[in-house]
Amino acid sequence: KKLLSIAIDGPAGAGKSTVAKQVAERLSFIYIDTGAMYRALTYKALLKGADLNDGRELEIVLNDTDIKLVITNGGQAVLLDGKDVSEEIRTSEVTNNVSFVARQQEVRTEMVKRQQLLAESGGVVMDGRDIGTHVMPNAELKIFLIASVEERARRRYEENITKGFEADFELLKSEIALRDKRDSEREVAPLRKAEDAIELDTTSMTIEEVVSSILHYAKERA
């Protein structure tokens, strides 16, 4: 019997990757971070000085780009043309530019194709913005994670402080709000809840509560 496919979508900072990683681990499924793929392309395009508003130019860059999501002893790593860029793709420069790259049709067509190949045999937890609506429209379980913008900024703030980075709460909040606006208002595959997705508001939930709730739905559908 084919293993389940689980789609997790939602706005920036709602906890998708933390939760998706843990759900995948508990089910021994593969975790696929599609945001990391858009980030890797953005990082490369910035390095090359490509025009981030030119879909055709980005498509040419992408066609010559190898992106691998690999498991390491410490967790996950993103390999861009063989080089580990896991940290580079999380800088604010990449974060604040990724929505421009992700709005290009040419980029999305190729990314969705690659993501569908990765998900082909099931047994996957994939997180992103358009997974339930476009990448895995037939996923057995679709989750849409939301949380207030204050809470999402607070989580990002604490994450940065814990890592020893500087953080400005108000700035983080406005950057998150702006990225959501761009992701929700773009023409191609905007961020939205699939009709058959289960919405979970994580504002006052712990990570463990979100994870066990998703595992419960997964068990129901297995």
- Chain contacts with ligand C5P (rule: CB under 6 A): 12, 34-35, 38-39, 98-99, 102, 128-131, 179, 183
Q: Which strand ranges, in their side-by-side order, compose the sheet holding 30-33?
A: 30-33, 124-128, 5-9, 141-146, 198-201
- Show the CA angle centred on residue 138, arms to residues 117 and 146, nearest 5°: 100
Q: How far is the CB of 221 from ligand C5P (least distance, A)?
A: 22
Count Cβ atoms below 10 Å from residue 54 Cβ, excluding itself: 14
Closest distance of CB 198 from ligand C5P, Å: 18
Which of 1/112 has CB closer to ligand C5P? 112
In the complex with ligand C5P, the residue whose CB is nearer, 177 or 198, is: 177
Q: Give 39 or 155: the residue with its C-beta nearer to ligand C5P.
A: 39
**Least distance from ligand C5P to the Cβ atom of residue 86, Å:** 12
Name the residue nearer to ligand C5P (CB basis): 10 or 218: 10
Between CA 75 and CA 149 the distance in angstroms is: 27
Rounded CA-CA distance 84/90 in Å is 12
Considering Cα of 118, then 208, then 191, then 219, what sign does the dihedral take? positive
CB of 98 to ligand C5P, least distance (A): 4
